[in-house]
Structure 1
Amino acid sequence: MAEKTGTGQASGGAQRNRAHMLERIDEVRRLEQRAVERSARSARHFHAQGKLLPRERLAHLLDADRPFYELMTLSGYCGLEDPNPATSVPGSALIVGIGHISGVRCMVAVNDSGISAGAMQALTGQKLIRAQEIALAQKLPFVQLVESAGGNLRKYRVERFVVGGGMFYSLARLSAAGLPVVALIHGSSAAGGAYLPGLSDYVVMVRGQAHAYLAGPSLLKAATGEEASDEELGGADMHAAVSGLADYVADNDLDGIMRVREIMQRIGWHGAPAPQAAPPLHDADELLAIMPADMRTPVDMREVIARLVDGSEFHAFKERFGPATVCGYAAIEGHAVGILTNNGPLDSDGSNKAAQFIQLCVQLGRPLVFLQNITGFMVGRRHEEAGMIKHGAKLIQALSNAPVPRFTVLCGASYGAGNYGMCGRAFKPDLLFSWPNARTAVMGGEQAAMTMRTVAENAARRGGKDVDEQALAAESRAIVHTFESQSSAIHTSSLLLDDGVIDPRETRAWLGMALATAFDARERAVQPMQFGVARL
């Protein structure tokens, strides 16, 4: 029998915890707003040409009565383009997310051409590829609004060029999997970018604005001496009447958006209605106060569960065996799930319990939700003798091969092999989100510094040398700084090590969206092909 879980109020230090969490949320929101404001600076230029800003296009494209879940908003922050935290603009000049178009849930990608004309940045290609991977796994149509100056030749990096080919590989895979790929070309789509419409199943081009070509006028003249205008080389009318690349020609941005909405209406992949679900008994606002500002302070993760699951009902599995590992059954927005989290490190019993629980959920076809707050696996002579390695391996085996949807939320600490055992990024969860207070590292900075200090001291003694306390102290400070600067949610998210940093109060809605998407994917009958739809 499922039991009500959670208390009506978070324990000790709630106000301090709440203030800390709100500061972290505000930091993330300010960075996200920086990207919106930078793009909006181009409004006068865009509007003077009769064009909509990228986020205006997105707003007209999406169903107004359904939320848009924007992903990877901090991508590229403090990266190669601008390493200065005070001025760096996150997002990689690309907006991606899951939303509804004419009632159809889609993955949407929009070049933010208000920022440096939408030129590709260091992680733009990887961000787009990740969005395509999600679309393929969740059987989502892929809709792209294209306007990009292409690669920045002044900041050319060979690895961007090589990795960027994955954008085109993934488009071909989407089409072959029976998932419609729709491209609306608002402006430039040059060089490799020309294959974005070239590999799309439906192509709309805006007359007088859209241009698609492998070599633009400047490159053409430099390469061959031939002279031609943008319109002659790759204008919408040429591609509609001569090359056949364009299926539809729109008069302006808004007309093009309406045509994409009509395409999605004809596709008509409407998902199942949302199931009935009782809200949690406890206010989501209380999630702000549960996670401690000091990661070393213990927290009962059942308090988090109580504010996420339907009716705050949680049926715990093997509650007294490996008690630091919490496993159990619940529902989130009407979708049955298995939940795994931790009230301490993973030990042998906890690993065995989690492995068995994962297999039970696979037997039921039940999605898994991992709520990470984990310091790692237990270490020490007693735990090694008890077979910690082999028992931990059972968990890794079960987790890695579980063929059910898996979703991970980094709620607090994500340290050491605990990151792996609780379905971190390397274990390919369908979606992975971070709370803004989350910290990810192989170990804590102070622990790393102490480890290296011990190694240095032992080496000095073996060599018969004196220990240089001043040098060791300086090295320790440097190690702590290195670990601390790389472990924050903002830093890891900037490297695309999650799919977005979310407000804890919105976790239930994000997981509800993820579960509904996975459910629709299971129910959706697609017609895979050996090859994608070819442009004829």
Structure 2
Amino acid sequence: MSVLQTAIDPTGEDFLDRCREYLERIAEIEADHAQAVSAGGPRYTERHRERGKLLARERIELLLDRDAPFLELSPLAAWGTQFHVGASLVTGIGVVEGVECAILAHEPTVKGGTGNPYTVRKFLRLFDIARENNLPLICLVESGGADLPTQSEIFVPGGRQFRDLTQASAAGRPVISLVFGNSTAGGAYVPGMSDYTVMVKEGAKVFLAGPPLVKMATGEESDDESLGGAEMHARTSGLADYLAVDELDAIRIGRQIVAHLNWRKPGPGPSMPDDPPVHDINELPGIVPIDIKQPFDPLEVINRLVDGSRFDEFKPLYGTSLVTGWASIEGHPVGILANSRGILFSEESQKAAQFIQLCNQIDTPLIFLQNVTGFMVGKEYEQNGIIKHGAMMINAVSNSTVPHLTVNMGASYGAGNYGMCGRAYGPRFVFSWPNSKTAVMGGQQLVGVMSIVARQSAAARGVEFDEAADQALREQVETQIDTEAIAQFMSGKVFDDGIIDPRDTRVVLGYCLSIVNNQPIEGVKNAFGVFRM
């Protein structure tokens, strides 16, 4: 493969200005992440420690192999809502006894670990990732169940967790629960539906109804220990498979369980040299502008992500608004699609569809680097078949069966989001950069369309158009759209798997490519459906 060159001058004034601006945006995201890490804050953290308990992230750290990575998912869930950033839950993928495992840990310092609507979105996303990538699941349990004031938004969708747990077991993906504290009501079914359950003596409390509710329902007097204590479940009910003397012992037993799973990856694994890129990935904040209207060369990104900066570009002279080609990341072969000028024309759409088919023929995962404003519009392009060509690309993305990994580098607007494998199209993982925006269209374009339609409607009814009201509405809607398009808002809705620093992208993609190898990688060969020619 050819080694990509660079035209970037890291000492130039423009580069340094962009870098300073981008690093400021990264600092904003880091401050948001700090809110999630702080959990319930000093008061509740100290109270939790006084009870002799570890924090959720401490439990995860002790569970993982020494110096093993942990890919935290959806850390900004519930950002911008009434709920605590992080949604009372820590989720991610980490290595335990050499096995990549999906991990869920309740955050008991935030409202007792109770779940809100964003908690549900967050753990269901983790369950989807675990299923798609064939990962064992470890649940670190200490939760008071549902946040009852929001039960109408939790009860119906949240019930899927129990189905997912049982289906995981049926598929041969072990579910392991380590119960450190309360696991009540619906939460009692988490250890109940696990393959392995470990409970901490004098810490775990697992029951469908606590003593007050039992008193109200049946008149029976009972205490926590006799009703649902760890020792009772280990000696009497049989719900606990292991009785741990303390939290550290529970984590030790959990690691021991994973060690005897005899887990093996069926995927092909890395097969190419994994030498680092020739060009410095730390230069990315000076290459990618905060203002998504400013263009940048995606090859300057690719040559800082792929092994040895080697890239075999496919159709370089055709459909030049989309870069396609083959490379490897940390030894894993990949096909890459990256937007150049943001707009997808007919040529780019056909080029993408062919490239996706080729990658499926050779069982090669696909990486989508988004910076797309949509498919081109206008009379000339409609007459030349932009709809059917765009549909061809979306068809190929929809029916491709190799793993897809998506990174939003800038804009992800309109049907371009679909063609470049946005969240709705089932990428195994989707991440955003701090400058990214996702929406039907930009706020300025959207309010312009609304204004044109309103003017036409007024003219058709023969009434005077209210310019002042139109201007006020334009300002209000544009502000709303631009606010709802930013990376934090999308991540808060769990529409991505997290916002990542561009400088971490190679490491994150490399880890994700390792994770997807927990499944065989097989592309679709002859089942793409009808392509409209």
TM-score between both structures, scaled by the size of structure 1: 0.93
From the superposition, tell whether residues 374 and 245 of structure 1 become closer, same or farther in structure 2 (CA, over 3 Å). same
* Runs of at least 5 residues in structure 1 that lack an aligned partner in the other structure: 82-88, 525-536
Once the two structures are overlaid, the 10-residue window that deviates more, 352-361 or 474-483, is: 474-483
Match for residue 78 of structure 2 among 52, 76, 79: 76
CA contact (8 A) 2:76 2:85 kept: yes
Q: CA deviation at 1:53?
A: 1.7
Q: CA deviation at 1:242?
A: 1.2
Counterpart residue number, 2:527: none
Once the two structures are overlaid, the 10-residue window that deviates more, 456-465 or 331-340, is: 456-465
Counterpart residue number, 1:130: 125
CA contact (8 A) 1:306 1:312 kept: yes
Counterpart residue number, 2:374: 376
Distance between the aligned counterparts of 2:110 and 2:408, measured in 1? 30
CA contact (8 A) 1:6 1:312 kept: no
CA contact (8 A) 2:3 2:308 kept: no
Counterpart residue number, 2:530: none
Q: What is the correspondence of 1:319-338 to structure 2 with a 5 Å cutoff?
A: 319-338=316-335
Is 1:34 aligned to 2:43, yes or no?
Answer: no
Distance between the aligned counterparts of 2:482 and 2:156, measured in 1? 32
Distance between the aligned counterparts of 1:305 and 1:402, measured in 2? 22
Counterpart residue number, 2:53: 51
Q: CA deviation at 1:58?
A: 1.3
Q: CA deviation at 1:469?
A: 1.6
From the superposition, tell whether residues 339 and 441 of structure 1 become closer, same or farther in structure 2 (CA, over 3 Å). same
Distance between the aligned counterparts of 1:463 and 1:44, measured in 2? 66
Q: What is the correspondence of 1:100-119 to structure 2 with a 5 Å cutoff?
A: 100-119=95-114
Aligned amino acid, residue 179 of structure 2: I
Structure 1, residues 382-415: CA drift from partner, whole Å, max 9, x if none? 0000000001111111110001000000010001
Structure 1, residues 38-83: CA drift from partner, whole Å, max 9, x if none? 34523432332222122211111111221111010000112243xx
Counterpart residue number, 1:317: 314
Q: Secondary structure at the match of 1:260?
A: helix
Distance between the aligned counterparts of 1:157 and 1:513, measured in 2? 36
Structure 1, residues 93-152: CA drift from partner, whole Å, max 9, x if none? 100011111111101100011211111122112211110111111111100100001112
Q: Secondary structure at the match of 2:260?
A: helix
Counterpart residue number, 1:278: 275
From the superposition, tell whether residues 250 and 348 of structure 1 become closer, same or farther in structure 2 (CA, over 3 Å). same
CA contact (8 A) 2:270 2:333 kept: no
Distance between the aligned counterparts of 2:412 and 2:14, measured in 1? 22
Match for residue 151 of structure 2 among 151, 157, 171: 157
Is 1:7 aligned to 2:4, yes or no?
Answer: no
From the superposition, tell whether residues 300 and 406 of structure 1 become closer, same or farther in structure 2 (CA, over 3 Å). same
Counterpart residue number, 1:434: 432
Structure 1, residues 4-58: CA drift from partner, whole Å, max 9, x if none? 2433447883223222321221111111111222345234323322221222111
Is 1:388 aligned to 2:382, yes or no?
Answer: no
Counterpart residue number, 2:458: 460
Counterpart residue number, 1:358: 356
Q: Secondary structure at the match of 2:117?
A: coil
Q: Secondary structure at the match of 1:267?
A: coil
CA contact (8 A) 2:363 2:521 kept: no
Distance between the aligned counterparts of 1:370 and 1:37, measured in 2? 33
CA contact (8 A) 1:6 1:305 kept: no
CA contact (8 A) 2:90 2:107 kept: yes
Aligned amino acid, residue 341 of structure 1: A
Distance between the aligned counterparts of 1:138 and 1:38, measured in 2? 29
Distance between the aligned counterparts of 1:417 and 1:293, measured in 2? 22
CA contact (8 A) 1:16 1:293 kept: no
Once the two structures are overlaid, the 10-residue window that deviates more, 293-302 or 432-441, is: 293-302
Aligned amino acid, residue 279 of structure 1: P
Once the two structures are overlaid, the 10-residue window that deviates more, 359-368 or 34-43, is: 34-43
CA contact (8 A) 2:329 2:506 kept: yes
Q: CA deviation at 1:270?
A: 5.7
Q: CA deviation at 1:269?
A: 2.4
Distance between the aligned counterparts of 2:331 and 2:498, measured in 1? 24
Q: How many residues align?
A: 516
Is 1:238 aligned to 2:236, yes or no?
Answer: no
Aligned amino acid, residue 151 of structure 1: A
Counterpart residue number, 1:342: 339
Identity %: 46
Structure 1, residues 494-525: CA drift from partner, whole Å, max 9, x if none? 0000011111100000000111111232289x
Is 1:299 aligned to 2:259, yes or no?
Answer: no
CA contact (8 A) 1:207 1:237 kept: yes
Q: Secondary structure at the match of 1:156?
A: helix
CA contact (8 A) 2:77 2:491 kept: yes
Once the two structures are overlaid, the 10-residue window that deviates more, 265-274 or 187-196, is: 265-274
Counterpart residue number, 2:182: 188
Distance between the aligned counterparts of 1:270 and 1:260, measured in 2? 18
Q: CA deviation at 1:287?
A: 0.8
Distance between the aligned counterparts of 2:497 and 2:435, measured in 1? 15
Structure 1, residues 417-452: CA drift from partner, whole Å, max 9, x if none? 100000001101000000011000100100111111
CA contact (8 A) 1:13 1:292 kept: no
Q: CA deviation at 1:294?
A: 1.8
Structure 1, residues 167-195: CA drift from partner, whole Å, max 9, x if none? 11111111111011000000000010001
From the superposition, tell whether residues 270 and 100 of structure 1 become closer, same or farther in structure 2 (CA, over 3 Å). farther
Counterpart residue number, 1:259: 253
CA contact (8 A) 1:79 1:122 kept: no
CA contact (8 A) 1:372 1:409 kept: yes
Distance between the aligned counterparts of 2:7 and 2:418, measured in 1? 30
Counterpart residue number, 2:18: 17
Once the two structures are overlaid, the 10-residue window that deviates more, 21-30 or 229-238, is: 21-30
Counterpart residue number, 2:207: 213
Q: CA deviation at 1:328?
A: 0.5
Counterpart residue number, 1:528: none
Q: Secondary structure at the match of 1:4?
A: coil
Counterpart residue number, 2:525: none
Aligned amino acid, residue 309 of structure 2: S
Counterpart residue number, 1:197: 191
From the superposition, tell whether residues 390 and 119 of structure 1 become closer, same or farther in structure 2 (CA, over 3 Å). same
* Runs of at least 5 residues in structure 2 that lack an aligned partner in the other structure: 523-533
Distance between the aligned counterparts of 1:91 and 1:34, measured in 2? 8
Once the two structures are overlaid, the 10-residue window that deviates more, 267-276 or 296-305, is: 267-276
Moved over 4 A (4+): 270-276
Q: What is the correspondence of 1:440-451 to structure 2 with a 5 Å cutoff?
A: 440-451=438-449
CA contact (8 A) 2:402 2:521 kept: no
Once the two structures are overlaid, the 10-residue window that deviates more, 294-303 or 349-358, is: 294-303
TM-score between both structures, scaled by the size of structure 2: 0.94
From the superposition, tell whether residues 261 and 63 of structure 1 become closer, same or farther in structure 2 (CA, over 3 Å). same
